[in-house]
Amino acid sequence: MQDWIVHKVLADAAAKFPDKPFLFCNGQSIRYRELDEITDVLASALLQEGFTKGDTIAILALNQIEWIYTYFAAAKIGVGVVALNVRYRETELEYMLNNSKAKGIVSISGYKGFNFASFFENYQEKVPTVKKYIFIESGFEGSLSFEELLNRPAERRKLEDCKKSVMENDTVIVIYTSGTTGRPKGTMITNRSILESAKAQAEHLSIGKNDCAVGNLPLNHVGGITCTVHALLLSFGSVVLIPEFIPETVLNEIHQMKPTIFAGVPTMFLMVLNHRDIDKYDLSSIKICIAGGSNVDPNQCEMIQFRFPNAKIINLYGLSETSGACILTKLTDSLEKVQDSIGVPIGDFKIKIVDSQLNEVPNGEVGEIAVKGNCRAAGYYGLDEESKLAFSDNGWLYTGDIGYLDHEGYVYLKGRKKEMYIQGGYNVYPTEVENILMSHSKVSFAAGIGVPDPFLGEVGLYYIIPKEGATISEEEIDIFCRQNLADYKVPRKIVFVKQLPQTPAGKIQKSILKQEYMKQLQ
């Protein structure tokens, strides 16, 4: 590909297939040319509001057309999008907006009883870099209307000059992943890195212009923006956007729209497969089912194969740090291979397994998975030390995930990053939750681990030492956490204790906590 620049890829698709629908959402369809033209207008409006190359603008919305408009408009003027989750609350929003130095935010007015317009109106002093509040629905006095921006006359000359200034290595999106230090890390994904990952995936899976993907994975995650939107854009295909994951909605869209690709984390598949009325839906159009987030359970594999009779099951491994997929099983792989392995490196990406000294180990030996290639992100926003640890000078990304390679080049995932657990497809780092718990006036100490759960895969179990003389309940902890954390990070199990096992150096021995819990299950 000659230019690894997002807005040029969109322009190319609009020139080749101007009247072909690219996006479907809530009965609305947006053609390639329409998307290019509408985002030109929005990009010009953002320039008029003072956004310039190198700035960042946050998006807090569902999987909706306005999210896509904002992303491509920002990409055209070299403004990086900070992708936020609608489930984030005060602590997370404050940190991420300040850390990313967001100059503005595009937001929905509210979500499930939480009023974002009111929240931001009263919270402006705590996020001083945010100068522009743009609401998709109603906002507050002094905020901007998204609809009004879409109706402004475009300043073409200024816009075209800005487009020319956008480079391959400019940050196009910042996606936050929780850090082991308790500080979320904003991964800076570039024009080139996101397109390299998406193109490698599209070619590996032979995705073409007749393909249509279900867009149920969140757009604030690489599963949504890279593996779905960009993979289909590069293939001149289509995407059916699902605003938020509801099994019945997904099944209805597959039944009516006849998409060919459905991707999800294991929990999503489980919810769809266990839907009580699944027999009423025609799922025969799906030819590829992509499972990401962890190894695919053999029983689930068989259920997917039964319910999606024409589909090939694919295992996908990727990170925000690799801008999307970097390892996939092959279309020709057996079901047994998909159950055992996460696949082979795609495109021209390289994989090696290293020991604790970062020396490469032989095939079959377990170590840390390292990835090399142009899919590698540029680092973590404003976190130089953390960036140096993961993004080496020699081009390798050290994932922190554990696995081994076989003689055929297949990668086998053996374990996740040291403390992280995956709850319903979302990565959770106990340190972040522990920091919130220990900010409670009645909590002396907290330690969390991930434990098995038949539905969500893993859930958080947190051991809490109350302060001397304090009385605290599980309900009180739950309310406090829901006020300060995204709901998928809220502890599902609480155990109050007087002490915790420690190493001679005073560190909590979480391995012992995990062992003791697993013994109780036997």
Q: What CATH number corresponds to the domain at position 401?
A: 3.40.50.12780
Considering the domain boundaries, does residue 460 fall inside one? yes
The percentage of the chain sitting over the pLDDT mark of 90, rounded to a whole number, equals 79
Q: Residues 216, 319: one domain?
A: yes
Coil, helix or strand at residue 465: strand
Q: Residues 111, 199: one domain?
A: no
Instruction: Report yes or no: 196 and 374 within 8 Å, Cβ to Cβ.
Output: yes
Q: Is the pLDDT of residue 415 over 70?
A: no
Q: Smallest Cα–Cα separation from 269: which of 230, 235, 315?
A: 315
Tell me the residue ranges of DSSP E strands in 50-194.
56-60, 80-84, 104-107, 110-111, 114-115, 132-135, 144-145, 171-177, 185-190
Considering the domain boundaries, does residue 20 fall inside one? no
Torsion of CA 354, 355, 359, 362, to 10 degrees: -70
Last residue of some domain: 150, 166, 182?
166
Q: For residue 504, what pLDDT band results from cuts at 50, 70 and 90?
A: very low
pTM score, two decimals? Answer: 0.86
303-361 tens-digit pLDDT: 999 999 999 999 999 999 999 999 999 999 999 999 889 999 999 999 999 998 999 99
Domain count, the chain: 3
24-35 tens-digit pLDDT: 999 999 999 999
Q: For residue 302, what pLDDT band results from cuts at 50, 70 and 90?
A: confident
Question: What's the rounded mean pLDDT across residues 365-392?
Answer: 94
Coil, helix or strand at residue 269: helix
Burial 378-397 (b: 16+ CB within 10 A, else e): bbbbebeebbeebbeeeebb
Instruction: Report yes or no: 413 and 453 within 8 Å, Cβ to Cβ.
Output: no
**CB-neighbour burial class of residue 309 (10 A; exposed 0-12, middle 13-18, buried 19+):** exposed
Of 403 and 307, the one with more pLDDT: 307
Q: Residues 476, 408: one domain?
A: no
Q: Residues 397, 293: one domain?
A: yes
Cα distances (Å, whole numbers) of residue 8 to 2, 4, 14, 394: 10, 8, 10, 29
CB atoms within 10 A of CB 341: 25
Instruction: Report yes or no: 202 and 304 within 8 Å, Cβ to Cβ.
Output: no
Q: Residues 309, 262: one domain?
A: yes
In three-state form (DSSP H/G/I as H, E/B as E, the rest C), the secondary structure along 366-401 is CEEEEEECCCCCCCECCCHHHHHHHECCCCEEEEEE
- Which residues fall within 8 angstroms of residue 315, CB to CB, at 6 or more apart? 290, 291, 292, 295, 296, 328, 329, 338, 341, 342, 343
Q: Residues 296, 403: one domain?
A: yes
Q: Residues 250, 105: one domain?
A: no
Q: Is the pLDDT of residue 293 over 90?
A: no
Considering the domain boundaries, does residue 340 fall inside one? yes
CATH number at residue 507: 3.30.300.30
DSSP state of 126: G
Of 175 and 468, the one with more pLDDT: 175
Q: Is the pLDDT of residue 493 over 90?
A: yes
Q: Give first-to-last CA distance, the chain, whole Å.
A: 55
Considering the domain boundaries, does residue 44 fall inside one? yes
Last residue of some domain: 415, 432, 466?
415
Considering the domain boundaries, does residue 17 fall inside one? no
Instruction: Report yes or no: 231 and 261 within 8 Å, Cβ to Cβ.
Output: no
The percentage of the chain sitting over the pLDDT mark of 70, rounded to a whole number, equals 96
Residue 225 Ramachandran class (φ > 0 left, ψ -120 to 50 alpha, else beta): alpha
Question: What's the rounded mean pLDDT across residues 69-86?
Answer: 97
Q: Residues 303, 155: one domain?
A: no
Q: Residues 205, 276: one domain?
A: yes
Domain of residue 437: give its range.
421-521
Q: Which contiguous run of DSSP H or E holds residue 413?
A: strand 411-415
Q: Residues 162, 269: one domain?
A: no
Considering the domain boundaries, does residue 112 fall inside one? yes
How much is the pLDDT for 418?
67
Q: Residues 389, 432: one domain?
A: no
Last residue of some domain: 105, 131, 166?
166
CATH number at residue 92: 3.40.50.980
- DSSP assignment of 314-376 equals EEEEEEGGGTEEEEE--TT--HHHHHH--BEE-TT-EEEEE-TTS-B--TT--EEEEEESTT-
Q: Is the pLDDT of residue 181 over 90?
A: no
436-461 tens-digit pLDDT: 998 899 998 888 999 999 888 899 99
Considering the domain boundaries, does residue 82 fall inside one? yes
CA 11, distance to chain mean position in Å, is 25
How much is the pLDDT for 182?
57
Alpha-carbon span 262 to 273, nearest angstrom: 13
Considering the domain boundaries, does residue 177 fall inside one? no
Please state, rounded to an integer, the average pLDDT across all residues of the chain. Answer: 93
Coil, helix or strand at residue 518: helix
Q: Residues 425, 411: one domain?
A: no
189-233 tens-digit pLDDT: 999 999 999 999 999 999 999 999 999 999 999 999 999 999 999
How much is the pLDDT for 362?
96
